[in-house]
Protein backbone atom coordinates (compact mmCIF):
# COMPACT_ATOMS: atom_id res chain seq x y z
CA UNK A 1 0.00 0.00 0.00
CA UNK A 2 1.20 3.48 -0.80
CA UNK A 3 0.23 6.83 0.65
CA UNK A 4 -3.28 7.95 -0.32
CA UNK A 5 -3.47 9.94 -3.58
CA UNK A 6 -5.27 12.71 -1.69
CA UNK A 7 -2.74 12.61 1.16
CA UNK A 8 -2.84 15.77 3.24
CA UNK A 9 0.64 17.29 3.29
CA UNK A 10 0.63 20.29 5.51
CA UNK A 11 2.04 22.15 8.43
CA UNK A 12 0.70 22.73 11.94
CA UNK A 13 0.55 25.70 14.31
CA UNK A 14 -1.76 27.04 17.02
CA UNK A 15 -3.32 30.51 17.16
CA UNK A 16 -1.73 31.58 20.45
CA UNK A 17 1.76 30.54 19.34
CA UNK A 18 1.89 32.60 16.14
CA UNK A 19 -0.90 35.15 15.84
CA UNK A 20 0.05 37.73 18.44
CA UNK A 21 -2.48 40.57 18.45
CA UNK A 22 -3.46 39.30 21.88
CA UNK A 23 -5.84 42.21 22.52
CA UNK A 24 -6.49 43.29 18.92
CA UNK A 25 -9.87 43.15 17.20
CA UNK A 26 -11.79 42.73 20.45
CA UNK A 27 -9.87 39.64 21.56
CA UNK A 28 -9.92 38.76 25.26
CA UNK A 29 -7.02 37.26 27.25
CA UNK A 30 -6.56 33.50 27.15
CA UNK A 31 -4.63 31.20 29.47
CA UNK A 32 -1.66 31.59 27.11
CA UNK A 33 -1.66 35.34 27.71
CA UNK A 34 -0.84 34.99 31.42
CA UNK A 35 2.14 32.68 30.93
CA UNK A 36 5.63 34.14 31.10
CA UNK A 37 8.67 33.05 29.11
CA UNK A 38 10.54 30.11 30.63
CA UNK A 39 13.66 28.50 29.21
CA UNK A 40 15.23 25.08 28.77
CA UNK A 41 14.49 23.32 32.07
CA UNK A 42 12.75 26.36 33.58
CA UNK A 43 8.95 26.19 33.63
CA UNK A 44 6.82 29.11 32.54
CA UNK A 45 5.10 30.98 35.37
CA UNK A 46 1.35 31.46 35.42
CA UNK A 47 0.65 34.99 36.68
CA UNK A 48 -2.52 36.34 38.28
CA UNK A 49 -3.79 38.08 35.18
CA UNK A 50 -1.60 40.17 32.89
CA UNK A 51 0.93 42.02 35.05
CA UNK A 52 3.11 45.00 34.16
CA UNK A 53 6.82 44.26 33.76
CA UNK A 54 6.43 40.57 32.84
CA UNK A 55 7.50 39.04 29.52
CA UNK A 56 4.52 37.31 27.87
CA UNK A 57 5.84 35.88 24.60
CA UNK A 58 2.41 35.01 23.18
CA UNK A 59 1.22 38.63 23.21
CA UNK A 60 3.08 39.43 20.02
CA UNK A 61 4.24 35.94 19.00
CA UNK A 62 5.28 36.19 15.33
CA UNK A 63 2.54 38.70 14.49
CA UNK A 64 0.78 36.37 12.07
CA UNK A 65 -2.41 38.30 12.85
CA UNK A 66 -1.09 41.20 10.77
CA UNK A 67 1.15 39.27 8.36
CA UNK A 68 -0.93 36.26 7.40
CA UNK A 69 -1.25 37.19 3.72
CA UNK A 70 2.50 37.14 3.08
CA UNK A 71 2.84 34.03 5.24
CA UNK A 72 0.12 32.11 3.40
CA UNK A 73 1.90 33.00 0.13
CA UNK A 74 5.04 31.35 1.56
CA UNK A 75 2.99 28.31 2.65
CA UNK A 76 1.70 28.01 -0.92
CA UNK A 77 5.25 28.22 -2.26
CA UNK A 78 6.19 25.42 0.12
CA UNK A 79 3.47 23.37 -1.55
CA UNK A 80 1.20 22.67 1.41
CA UNK A 81 -2.26 21.39 0.57
CA UNK A 82 -3.48 21.81 4.14
CA UNK A 83 -2.77 24.13 7.07
CA UNK A 84 -3.54 23.10 10.63
CA UNK A 85 -4.22 25.98 12.98
CA UNK A 86 -6.65 26.71 15.79
CA UNK A 87 -9.37 29.29 16.20
CA UNK A 88 -8.55 31.44 19.22
CA UNK A 89 -11.68 31.04 21.33
CA UNK A 90 -11.08 34.53 22.81
CA UNK A 91 -11.27 36.22 19.40
CA UNK A 92 -14.81 34.89 19.05
CA UNK A 93 -15.93 35.02 22.68
CA UNK A 94 -13.49 37.32 24.56
CA UNK A 95 -14.70 36.10 27.97
CA UNK A 96 -15.96 32.69 26.88
CA UNK A 97 -19.41 33.01 28.44
CA UNK A 98 -21.07 35.56 26.13
CA UNK A 99 -24.17 34.80 24.12
CA UNK A 100 -23.17 36.88 21.05
CA UNK A 101 -19.90 36.34 19.20
CA UNK A 102 -17.42 39.09 18.32
CA UNK A 103 -17.90 39.75 14.60
CA UNK A 104 -14.39 41.14 14.12
CA UNK A 105 -12.91 37.85 15.33
CA UNK A 106 -15.16 35.80 13.06
CA UNK A 107 -14.20 38.01 10.11
CA UNK A 108 -10.48 37.46 10.76
CA UNK A 109 -10.85 33.69 10.30
CA UNK A 110 -13.09 34.17 7.25
CA UNK A 111 -10.30 36.22 5.69
CA UNK A 112 -7.59 33.76 6.73
CA UNK A 113 -9.48 30.72 5.43
CA UNK A 114 -10.31 32.51 2.17
CA UNK A 115 -6.65 33.34 1.72
CA UNK A 116 -5.72 29.68 2.29
CA UNK A 117 -8.40 28.29 -0.04
CA UNK A 118 -7.45 30.75 -2.77
CA UNK A 119 -3.95 29.27 -2.56
CA UNK A 120 -5.14 25.66 -2.70
CA UNK A 121 -4.61 25.12 1.03
CA UNK A 122 -7.32 23.46 3.07
CA UNK A 123 -7.68 24.60 6.70
CA UNK A 124 -7.57 21.89 9.40
CA UNK A 125 -8.95 23.37 12.59
CA UNK A 126 -8.37 22.68 16.27
CA UNK A 127 -11.13 24.13 18.44
CA UNK A 128 -9.21 24.27 21.72
CA UNK A 129 -5.43 24.44 21.62
CA UNK A 130 -4.18 25.64 25.06
CA UNK A 131 -6.07 28.94 24.73
CA UNK A 132 -9.12 28.82 26.97
CA UNK A 133 -10.56 32.26 27.82
CA UNK A 134 -8.84 33.37 31.03
CA UNK A 135 -12.17 34.67 32.33
CA UNK A 136 -13.40 31.06 32.46
CA UNK A 137 -10.53 30.33 34.86
CA UNK A 138 -11.15 33.23 37.23
CA UNK A 139 -14.95 33.07 37.20
CA UNK A 140 -15.62 29.34 36.89
CA UNK A 141 -12.42 27.52 37.84
CA UNK A 142 -11.84 26.18 34.33
CA UNK A 143 -13.08 22.81 33.09
CA UNK A 144 -13.67 21.37 36.53
CA UNK A 145 -16.93 23.31 36.25
CA UNK A 146 -19.73 21.60 34.27
CA UNK A 147 -20.83 24.96 32.86
CA UNK A 148 -17.82 24.93 30.56
CA UNK A 149 -19.40 22.15 28.51
CA UNK A 150 -22.11 24.54 27.30
CA UNK A 151 -19.67 27.41 26.73
CA UNK A 152 -17.47 25.21 24.59
CA UNK A 153 -20.38 23.73 22.65
CA UNK A 154 -21.71 27.24 21.96
CA UNK A 155 -18.30 28.36 20.71
CA UNK A 156 -17.95 25.26 18.51
CA UNK A 157 -21.48 25.58 17.10
CA UNK A 158 -20.82 29.23 16.25
CA UNK A 159 -17.63 28.58 14.29
CA UNK A 160 -18.73 25.30 12.70
CA UNK A 161 -21.83 27.02 11.37
CA UNK A 162 -19.95 30.07 10.18
CA UNK A 163 -17.21 28.10 8.38
CA UNK A 164 -19.21 25.05 7.30
CA UNK A 165 -18.32 25.55 3.63
CA UNK A 166 -14.68 26.49 4.26
CA UNK A 167 -13.49 23.92 6.78
CA UNK A 168 -14.03 20.17 6.57
CA UNK A 169 -11.42 18.80 9.03
CA UNK A 170 -11.82 19.58 12.74
CA UNK A 171 -10.29 18.49 16.03
CA UNK A 172 -11.77 19.19 19.46
CA UNK A 173 -9.16 19.35 22.28
CA UNK A 174 -5.46 19.52 21.50
CA UNK A 175 -3.38 16.89 23.32
CA UNK A 176 -6.18 16.31 25.80
CA UNK A 177 -4.08 13.66 27.52
CA UNK A 178 -1.17 15.95 28.50
CA UNK A 179 -2.96 16.47 31.80
CA UNK A 180 -2.19 12.86 32.74
CA UNK A 181 0.83 14.75 34.08
CA UNK A 182 -1.32 16.35 36.78
CA UNK A 183 1.50 16.82 39.32
CA UNK A 184 2.94 19.70 37.29
CA UNK A 185 0.95 22.91 36.88
CA UNK A 186 1.55 23.34 33.13
CA UNK A 187 -0.66 20.69 31.50
CA UNK A 188 -3.75 21.02 33.74
CA UNK A 189 -3.66 24.79 33.20
CA UNK A 190 -3.09 24.73 29.44
CA UNK A 191 -5.46 21.82 28.79
CA UNK A 192 -8.26 22.74 31.16
CA UNK A 193 -7.66 26.09 32.87
CA UNK A 194 -7.12 24.31 36.19
CA UNK A 195 -5.41 25.90 39.17
CA UNK A 196 -5.23 23.60 42.15
CA UNK A 197 -6.03 24.84 45.65
CA UNK A 198 -2.98 25.68 47.75
CA UNK A 199 -1.72 22.50 49.42
CA UNK A 200 -3.96 20.15 47.41
CA UNK A 201 -2.82 16.55 47.86
CA UNK A 202 -1.72 14.37 44.97
CA UNK A 203 -5.02 12.51 45.05
CA UNK A 204 -7.03 15.72 45.07
CA UNK A 205 -5.14 17.02 42.06
CA UNK A 206 -5.75 13.76 40.27
CA UNK A 207 -9.47 13.70 41.00
CA UNK A 208 -9.89 17.28 39.76
CA UNK A 209 -8.02 16.38 36.57
CA UNK A 210 -10.32 13.39 35.91
CA UNK A 211 -13.40 15.53 36.49
CA UNK A 212 -12.21 18.22 34.06
CA UNK A 213 -11.21 15.65 31.46
CA UNK A 214 -14.63 14.03 31.75
CA UNK A 215 -16.40 17.33 31.05
CA UNK A 216 -14.10 17.91 28.09
CA UNK A 217 -14.84 14.47 26.68
CA UNK A 218 -18.57 15.11 27.01
CA UNK A 219 -18.16 18.54 25.38
CA UNK A 220 -16.13 16.96 22.59
CA UNK A 221 -18.73 14.23 21.98
CA UNK A 222 -21.54 16.80 21.84
CA UNK A 223 -19.56 18.81 19.30
CA UNK A 224 -18.93 15.73 17.15
CA UNK A 225 -22.66 15.00 17.03
CA UNK A 226 -23.56 18.63 16.41
CA UNK A 227 -20.90 19.06 13.75
CA UNK A 228 -22.22 16.12 11.76
CA UNK A 229 -25.64 17.77 11.78
CA UNK A 230 -24.20 21.09 10.62
CA UNK A 231 -22.40 19.43 7.72
CA UNK A 232 -22.47 15.63 7.21
CA UNK A 233 -19.16 15.91 5.31
CA UNK A 234 -17.29 17.14 8.37
CA UNK A 235 -14.47 14.91 9.59
CA UNK A 236 -14.08 15.51 13.33
CA UNK A 237 -11.20 13.99 15.23
CA UNK A 238 -9.65 13.90 18.66
CA UNK A 239 -6.06 14.96 19.29
CA UNK A 240 -3.78 12.83 21.43
CA UNK A 241 -0.16 13.49 22.43
CA UNK A 242 1.41 10.15 21.63
CA UNK A 243 4.59 9.32 23.54
CA UNK A 244 4.58 5.52 23.71
CA UNK A 245 5.83 4.20 27.04
CA UNK A 246 8.25 1.30 26.69
CA UNK A 247 9.24 -1.04 29.51
CA UNK A 248 12.86 -0.35 30.43
CA UNK A 249 13.57 -4.09 30.26
CA UNK A 250 11.80 -7.39 29.61
CA UNK A 251 11.37 -7.91 33.36
CA UNK A 252 7.66 -8.78 33.76
CA UNK A 253 7.17 -6.01 36.34
CA UNK A 254 8.57 -3.44 33.92
CA UNK A 255 6.15 -4.68 31.27
CA UNK A 256 3.20 -4.37 33.65
CA UNK A 257 4.30 -0.89 34.72
CA UNK A 258 4.41 0.13 31.06
CA UNK A 259 0.96 -1.32 30.44
CA UNK A 260 -0.60 0.57 33.34
CA UNK A 261 1.23 3.76 32.35
CA UNK A 262 -0.19 3.45 28.83
CA UNK A 263 -3.69 3.12 30.34
CA UNK A 264 -3.29 6.25 32.44
CA UNK A 265 -1.97 8.28 29.50
CA UNK A 266 -4.26 7.01 26.72
CA UNK A 267 -7.68 6.22 28.24
CA UNK A 268 -8.76 9.58 26.81
CA UNK A 269 -8.48 8.08 23.32
CA UNK A 270 -10.56 5.06 24.35
CA UNK A 271 -13.42 7.34 25.38
CA UNK A 272 -13.14 9.57 22.30
CA UNK A 273 -13.10 6.66 19.87
CA UNK A 274 -15.26 4.02 21.53
CA UNK A 275 -17.70 6.32 23.31
CA UNK A 276 -17.41 4.73 26.74
CA UNK A 277 -15.08 4.38 29.69
CA UNK A 278 -12.80 1.35 29.57
CA UNK A 279 -13.12 -1.19 32.38
CA UNK A 280 -9.55 -0.71 33.56
CA UNK A 281 -10.40 2.91 34.37
CA UNK A 282 -13.68 2.09 36.10
CA UNK A 283 -11.75 -0.35 38.31
CA UNK A 284 -9.21 2.40 39.05
CA UNK A 285 -11.91 4.95 39.95
CA UNK A 286 -13.46 2.39 42.32
CA UNK A 287 -10.17 1.65 44.03
CA UNK A 288 -9.42 5.36 44.45
CA UNK A 289 -13.00 6.07 45.58
CA UNK A 290 -13.11 9.16 43.38
CA UNK A 291 -16.44 10.96 43.52
CA UNK A 292 -16.86 12.01 39.94
CA UNK A 293 -19.87 13.73 38.49
CA UNK A 294 -20.69 11.43 35.56
CA UNK A 295 -24.40 11.39 34.73
CA UNK A 296 -26.49 9.05 32.58
CA UNK A 297 -26.92 11.89 30.06
CA UNK A 298 -23.13 12.16 29.89
CA UNK A 299 -22.83 8.45 29.16
CA UNK A 300 -25.36 8.80 26.33
CA UNK A 301 -23.59 11.88 24.94
CA UNK A 302 -20.25 10.01 24.90
CA UNK A 303 -21.78 7.09 23.02
CA UNK A 304 -23.33 9.42 20.42
CA UNK A 305 -20.21 11.41 19.68
CA UNK A 306 -17.44 9.02 18.64
CA UNK A 307 -14.72 10.71 16.59
CA UNK A 308 -14.17 10.07 12.88
CA UNK A 309 -10.41 9.89 13.02
CA UNK A 310 -7.50 10.00 15.45
CA UNK A 311 -5.32 13.06 15.19
CA UNK A 312 -2.12 12.76 17.16
CA UNK A 313 1.22 14.40 17.78
CA UNK A 314 4.41 12.41 17.89
CA UNK A 315 7.76 13.79 19.01
CA UNK A 316 9.37 11.20 21.26
CA UNK A 317 8.99 7.96 23.17
CA UNK A 318 9.21 7.38 26.93
CA UNK A 319 10.45 4.45 28.99
CA UNK A 320 9.52 3.24 32.46
CA UNK A 321 10.71 0.79 35.12
CA UNK A 322 8.54 -0.80 37.78
CA UNK A 323 9.86 1.04 40.88
CA UNK A 324 8.53 -1.81 43.11
CA UNK A 325 4.94 -0.83 42.48
CA UNK A 326 3.21 -4.20 42.44
CA UNK A 327 0.35 -4.94 42.55
CA UNK A 328 -1.14 -1.63 41.34
CA UNK A 329 1.73 -0.25 39.28
CA UNK A 330 0.22 3.23 39.60
CA UNK A 331 1.84 5.68 37.24
CA UNK A 332 3.39 9.02 38.07
CA UNK A 333 4.42 10.77 34.89
CA UNK A 334 6.35 13.19 37.02
CA UNK A 335 8.58 10.58 38.67
CA UNK A 336 8.56 7.23 36.90
CA UNK A 337 10.05 7.84 33.48
CA UNK A 338 13.64 6.78 32.82
CA UNK A 339 16.13 7.51 30.08
CA UNK A 340 16.05 5.05 27.18
CA UNK A 341 19.70 4.13 26.58
CA UNK A 342 19.01 3.02 22.99
CA UNK A 343 18.00 6.41 21.58
CA UNK A 344 19.46 9.92 21.38
CA UNK A 345 17.73 12.98 22.80
CA UNK A 346 17.32 16.58 21.64
CA UNK A 347 18.85 19.49 23.52
CA UNK A 348 15.55 19.71 25.45
CA UNK A 349 15.77 16.04 26.44
CA UNK A 350 13.11 14.80 24.00
CA UNK A 351 14.10 11.26 22.99
CA UNK A 352 14.37 10.81 19.23
CA UNK A 353 12.76 7.57 18.09
CA UNK A 354 11.40 7.28 14.52
CA UNK A 355 10.52 3.61 14.92
CA UNK A 356 8.37 4.64 17.88
CA UNK A 357 6.16 6.48 15.39
CA UNK A 358 5.57 3.26 13.46
CA UNK A 359 4.89 1.44 16.73
CA UNK A 360 2.41 4.13 17.76
CA UNK A 361 0.57 3.98 14.46
CA UNK A 362 0.18 0.22 14.79
CA UNK A 363 -1.02 0.56 18.36
CA UNK A 364 -3.70 3.08 17.43
CA UNK A 365 -4.81 1.27 14.32
CA UNK A 366 -5.02 -2.21 15.83
CA UNK A 367 -6.94 -0.83 18.78
CA UNK A 368 -9.44 1.41 16.96
CA UNK A 369 -9.45 0.67 13.21
CA UNK A 370 -10.06 4.36 12.47
CA UNK A 371 -8.06 6.55 10.08
CA UNK A 372 -5.06 8.28 11.63
CA UNK A 373 -3.79 11.79 11.03
CA UNK A 374 -0.30 12.80 12.20
CA UNK A 375 -1.00 16.42 13.05
CA UNK A 376 2.33 17.22 14.75
CA UNK A 377 5.87 15.94 14.48
CA UNK A 378 9.11 17.86 14.55
CA UNK A 379 12.49 18.69 15.95
CA UNK A 380 12.96 21.66 18.26
CA UNK A 381 16.52 22.91 17.85
CA UNK A 382 18.70 26.01 17.97
CA UNK A 383 19.31 27.36 14.45
CA UNK A 384 22.31 29.43 13.40
CA UNK A 385 21.68 32.25 11.00
CA UNK A 386 24.74 32.52 8.69
CA UNK A 387 26.19 35.88 7.63
CA UNK A 388 24.64 35.44 4.18
CA UNK A 389 21.18 34.86 5.64
CA UNK A 390 21.07 31.08 5.08
CA UNK A 391 20.25 28.49 7.74
CA UNK A 392 21.63 24.98 7.39
CA UNK A 393 19.29 22.77 9.41
CA UNK A 394 20.35 19.33 8.19
CA UNK A 395 19.58 17.92 11.70
CA UNK A 396 15.92 18.84 11.17
CA UNK A 397 15.85 17.24 7.72
CA UNK A 398 17.42 14.10 9.21
CA UNK A 399 14.84 13.92 11.98
CA UNK A 400 11.86 14.49 9.71
CA UNK A 401 12.96 12.20 6.90
CA UNK A 402 13.53 9.35 9.37
CA UNK A 403 10.03 9.87 10.76
CA UNK A 404 8.40 10.12 7.32
CA UNK A 405 10.20 6.91 6.35
CA UNK A 406 8.77 5.15 9.43
CA UNK A 407 5.34 6.58 8.65
CA UNK A 408 5.48 5.19 5.09
CA UNK A 409 6.57 1.79 6.39
CA UNK A 410 3.59 1.79 8.72
CA UNK A 411 1.26 2.39 5.77
CA UNK A 412 3.03 0.02 3.41
CA UNK A 413 3.99 -2.89 5.66
CA UNK A 414 1.42 -2.64 8.48
CA UNK A 415 -1.58 -1.53 6.40
CA UNK A 416 -2.37 1.53 8.50
CA UNK A 417 -4.87 4.00 7.01
CA UNK A 418 -3.26 7.43 7.24
CA UNK A 419 -4.93 10.70 6.17
CA UNK A 420 -2.03 13.09 6.30
CA UNK A 421 1.02 14.58 7.93
CA UNK A 422 1.43 18.14 9.23
CA UNK A 423 4.85 18.84 10.81
CA UNK A 424 4.71 21.14 13.83
CA UNK A 425 5.77 24.78 13.81
CA UNK A 426 6.80 24.73 10.15
CA UNK A 427 7.10 28.48 10.55
CA UNK A 428 9.06 29.34 13.73
CA UNK A 429 6.80 30.26 16.62
CA UNK A 430 6.64 30.49 20.42
CA UNK A 431 7.30 27.19 22.17
CA UNK A 432 4.34 26.00 24.23
CA UNK A 433 6.40 24.28 26.89
CA UNK A 434 9.06 26.91 27.48
CA UNK A 435 7.76 30.08 25.83
CA UNK A 436 11.06 30.38 23.97
CA UNK A 437 11.64 31.44 20.37
CA UNK A 438 15.00 29.69 20.47
CA UNK A 439 13.43 26.23 20.37
CA UNK A 440 12.66 26.30 16.65
CA UNK A 441 10.81 23.81 14.48
CA UNK A 442 10.38 25.76 11.26
CA UNK A 443 11.25 25.48 7.60
CA UNK A 444 10.63 29.23 7.65
CA UNK A 445 12.90 31.23 9.97
CA UNK A 446 11.42 34.15 11.90
CA UNK A 447 13.84 36.79 13.13
CA UNK A 448 13.00 37.10 16.82
CA UNK A 449 14.82 36.05 20.00
CA UNK A 450 13.80 34.95 23.48
CA UNK A 451 13.73 38.52 24.77
CA UNK A 452 11.40 39.61 21.99
CA UNK A 453 14.00 41.41 19.88
CA UNK A 454 14.16 41.04 16.10
CA UNK A 455 12.66 42.32 12.87
CA UNK A 456 10.12 39.45 12.58
CA UNK A 457 11.26 39.03 8.96
CA UNK A 458 10.80 35.58 7.40
CA UNK A 459 13.44 33.59 5.52
CA UNK A 460 13.81 30.05 4.18
CA UNK A 461 15.96 27.43 5.87
CA UNK A 462 17.49 24.52 3.94
CA UNK A 463 14.58 22.38 5.11
CA UNK A 464 12.19 24.54 3.07
CA UNK A 465 13.40 23.21 -0.30
CA UNK A 466 13.63 19.73 1.18
CA UNK A 467 9.97 19.68 2.31
CA UNK A 468 8.90 21.20 -1.01
CA UNK A 469 10.40 18.17 -2.73
CA UNK A 470 8.86 15.72 -0.25
CA UNK A 471 5.40 17.10 -0.98
CA UNK A 472 5.93 17.33 -4.74
CA UNK A 473 6.89 13.63 -4.87
CA UNK A 474 4.15 12.52 -2.42
CA UNK A 475 6.83 11.40 0.00
CA UNK A 476 8.95 9.46 -2.50
CA UNK A 477 12.05 11.70 -2.26
CA UNK A 478 13.19 12.16 1.32
P1 LIG B 1 7.12 22.74 22.60
C2 LIG B 1 4.66 18.24 25.67
C3 LIG B 1 4.87 17.00 25.08
C4 LIG B 1 4.51 16.79 23.76
C5 LIG B 1 3.93 17.82 23.04
O6 LIG B 1 6.18 21.56 22.11
C7 LIG B 1 3.70 19.04 23.63
C8 LIG B 1 4.05 19.26 24.94
C9 LIG B 1 3.81 20.59 25.59
O10 LIG B 1 5.00 21.31 25.63
O11 LIG B 1 3.06 20.06 23.01
C12 LIG B 1 2.75 20.03 21.63
O13 LIG B 1 6.57 23.98 21.98
C14 LIG B 1 1.69 21.08 21.40
C15 LIG B 1 2.22 22.30 20.71
C16 LIG B 1 3.67 22.49 21.06
C17 LIG B 1 4.46 21.31 20.47
O18 LIG B 1 3.94 20.09 20.95
O19 LIG B 1 7.02 22.73 24.07
O20 LIG B 1 0.54 20.61 20.75
O21 LIG B 1 1.40 23.40 21.05
O22 LIG B 1 4.22 23.69 20.64
C23 LIG B 1 5.94 21.37 20.75
O24 LIG B 1 8.49 22.43 22.08
Cis peptide before 56 (omega within 30 of 0): no
pLDDT(299) > 80:
yes
DSSP state of 45: P
pLDDT, tens digit, 9 for 90 and up, residues 102-113: 999 999 999 999
Specify the ligand 1 atom closest to the Cα of 439: 24
Q: Is 225 tagged catalytic?
A: no
The whole-angstrom separation of Cα 309 and Cα 236 is 7
The whole-angstrom separation of Cα 309 and Cα 303 is 15
Instruction: Classify residue 316: in a domain, yes or no.
Output: yes
φ, ψ of residue 20 to 5 degrees: the values are 70, -150
pLDDT, tens digit, 9 for 90 and up, residues 204-249: 999 999 999 999 999 999 999 999 999 999 999 999 999 999 999 9
- Which residue's alpha carbon is at the smallest distance from atom 10 of ligand 1? 433
Residue 15 Cα to ligand 1 midpoint, Å, equals: 13
Nearest to 161 by CA among 94, 82, 216, 87: 87
Instruction: Classify residue 331: in a domain, yes or no.
Output: yes
Q: What is the pLDDT of residue 41?
A: 87
Q: What is the pLDDT of residue 292?
A: 98
Residue 78 Cα to ligand 1 midpoint, Å, equals: 23
- Lining ligand 1 with CB less than 6 A are 14, 17, 130, 174-175, 241, 313, 315, 376, 380, 424, 431-434, 439
Instruction: Classify residue 95: in a domain, yes or no.
Output: yes
Instruction: Classify residue 285: in a domain, yes or no.
Output: yes
Residue 432 Cα to ligand 1 midpoint, Å, equals: 5
Number of structural domains in the chain: 1
pLDDT, tens digit, 9 for 90 and up, residues 143-187: 999 999 999 999 999 999 999 999 999 999 999 999 999 999 999
Q: What is the pLDDT of residue 76?
A: 98
Q: Buried b vs exposed e over 64-87: b needs ≥16 C-beta within 10 Å?
A: bbebbeebbebbbebbbbbbbbbb
Instruction: Classify residue 478: in a domain, yes or no.
Output: no
- Which residue's alpha carbon is at the smallest distance from atom 19 of ligand 1? 433
The boundaries of the domain holding residue 254 are 8-472
Q: What is the pLDDT of residue 1?
A: 72
pLDDT, tens digit, 9 for 90 and up, residues 250-274: 999 999 999 999 999 999 999 999 9
Instruction: Classify residue 58: in a domain, yes or no.
Output: yes
The whole-angstrom separation of Cα 324 and Cα 250 is 15
Q: In this structure, what CATH number is given to the domain that contains residue 392? A: 3.20.20.80
Which one of 207, 216, 248, 376 is the catalytic residue? Answer: 376
Instruction: Write the ipTM.
Output: 0.96
pLDDT, tens digit, 9 for 90 and up, residues 38-93: 999 888 999 999 999 999 999 999 999 999 999 999 999 999 999 999 999 999 99
Amino acid sequence: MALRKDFLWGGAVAAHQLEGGWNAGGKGPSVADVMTAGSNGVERRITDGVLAGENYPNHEAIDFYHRYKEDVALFAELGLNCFRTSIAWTRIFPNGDEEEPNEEGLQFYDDLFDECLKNGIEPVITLSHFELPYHLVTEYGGFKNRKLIDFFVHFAETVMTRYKDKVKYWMTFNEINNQANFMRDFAPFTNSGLKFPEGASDVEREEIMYQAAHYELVASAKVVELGHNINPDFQIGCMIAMCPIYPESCKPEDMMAATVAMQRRYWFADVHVRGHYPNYLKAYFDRKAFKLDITDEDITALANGCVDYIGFSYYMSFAIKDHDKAPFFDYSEDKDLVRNQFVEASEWGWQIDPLGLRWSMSWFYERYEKPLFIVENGFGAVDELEADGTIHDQYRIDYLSAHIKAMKESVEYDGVDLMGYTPWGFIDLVSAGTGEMKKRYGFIYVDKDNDGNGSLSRSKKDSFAWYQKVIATNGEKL
